[in-house]
Structure 1
Amino acid sequence: MLELHDVSKRYGDRPALDAVSFTVGDGRLTGFVGGNGAGKTTAMRIILGVLAADSGRVTLGGMPLGDVDRRRFGYMPEERGLYPKMRVLEQTVYLARLHGWAPAAARRNALELLERLDLGERVNDTIESLSLGNQQRAQIAAALVHRPEVLVLDEPFSGLDPMAVETVQGVLADVAASGAPVLFSSHQLDIVERLCDDLVIIAGGRIRAAGSGEALREQHGSERWELLMNGDAGWLREAPGITVVEFDGGWAVFEAETDAARQAALAEAVARGEVVTFTREHTTLAEIFKEVVL
């Protein structure tokens, strides 16, 4: 388990992080979301030891995090950091060797990983000759080739097409399934919501919300219901205990003050005509993000 405890960092008079605390659980994918300048990259660099915190501490398994521990980490920075003239396989094997892997094992693991990331046909291409999306996949391979016990990724889905996003999602899910804590930042809230077990929302260097998606919806979300019926659903606007959020002919999204109000609305809909669908609508991460940040 990776934990930050009251970590603070200032650049001159500007606070980048203000008593930041959160946990990345073993075997769990944790999404780290916030706007530009919110403090995500600073927090990640402190975890990796690239920056020193002004105060607070980072622990792994309850123990202070040191340089030896960080050798077991995988890290992908937002900026591209591979050698552009090196070939994809050569670069990936080289990084595995830096982590102590024997040549044959490094090559075997690199080939397997590159194939999994759909770079099998590009292993002899130079990094600079790849498309931006394939460069991003190569960067992810570089972070994973030594089979890290902790994984920290800064914007891993940037520049990826939908098929590549799905591929990378599967790879990251496998890493978490092996028991590794996985922390990644992303501006793509739909991907974070779909992939992550836990979420950390940061703004202005402060943690605004943290926990599982279910817990955050329970704490910050509102319970909404979607009704689609054959006929006009405008009567819902006058139904007791009902607040209509969206409406279009026979379709409506509404909030109910009580279960009794919801049940009464459903019974009224059935009495007025055929109910096509009646489902609970979950609050999205984007809605929670706006609530806690704005």
Structure 2
Amino acid sequence: MSATMQHIEITTPGGPEVLAYREVERPVPKANEVLVKVYAFGLNRPDILQRQGLYPMPKDVTPIPGLEISGVVEAVGESISKFKVGDAVFGLTNGGGYAEYCVLPETQTLHKPEQMSFVQAAAIPETFFTVWANVFQMGRAQAGETLLVHGGSSGIGTTALMLAQAFGLKTFATVGSDDKVKALSSMTQVINYKTQDFEQEIQTATEGKGVDVILDIVGAPYLEKNLNLLRRDGRLVYIAFLGGAKAKEVKLGQIMMKRLTITGSTMRARTTEEKARITQDLADQVMPLWQQGKCFPMIYKTFGFNQIVEAHEALDTGDHIGKVVIEVIQA
């Protein structure tokens, strides 16, 4: 058995063309890690930012991109108790997913349900971890409440909508094209922010009551409308600020009078213990849904391992609805 593998690295900040294949030594799992033969890995916006030089890695994190994988356990560290060689798994990496082999912390790894393909499993970790942590842990979303998702057609967006509905929330989503409106119309009430005023549309639909939780990727340009839409004790959760990070004016009185909470987070900055809690929550709360064939991720397009440039080009367009996935091994 060869002790080497191929991985994909970023040669210099830039476009998809800066991604290159390299022959390297296969990683060795530490005591608390599993080595996974990668069958598929998902692409995410942080990968794009990292490729562009806008998402620098901490010193102790591999510069090889890739935040989520699925595959089969090839070897286990000496402290591993939950997994064995041959298990089909998926999980959240600490980087290094763009490869034929990758190590996963045991506490960020889940068994793959039989009903789920490796491609589907690879599209889960980054988005489901992010949505669970931000919408359900920090955002405290509960059955009977209403959730607004900005960027509803993204991997994060479609995941948030599916999970919210599965747990009894009413949902709204904003998107940027009529094609995306059509694609999501069976899941939620969808608003094309380019042709409609999302604040007005939601106020009308809710009879002026607004929403309880907002998951936002836009940032500063939407702040005023978001605050206007939130009900008393509402929660605004940021996971990106694609439209701008600095708001010129904030209505502090409105925040106080409504008792609003404004928060946000990134997944990479979370501690090992925090990620372990999210993993356990998903195992307890969401795994039963997956085992019933529910809440599978929406896959936009699948590419082969030798098509990483084309896959990044597809993600760069912003036209995708759901996840872009690389299939390393056809199963």
- Structure having the larger proportion of residues in helix: 1
TM over 0.5: same fold? no
TM-score by length of 2: 0.26
Q: Which structure is larger by alpha-carbon Rg, 1 or 2?
A: 1
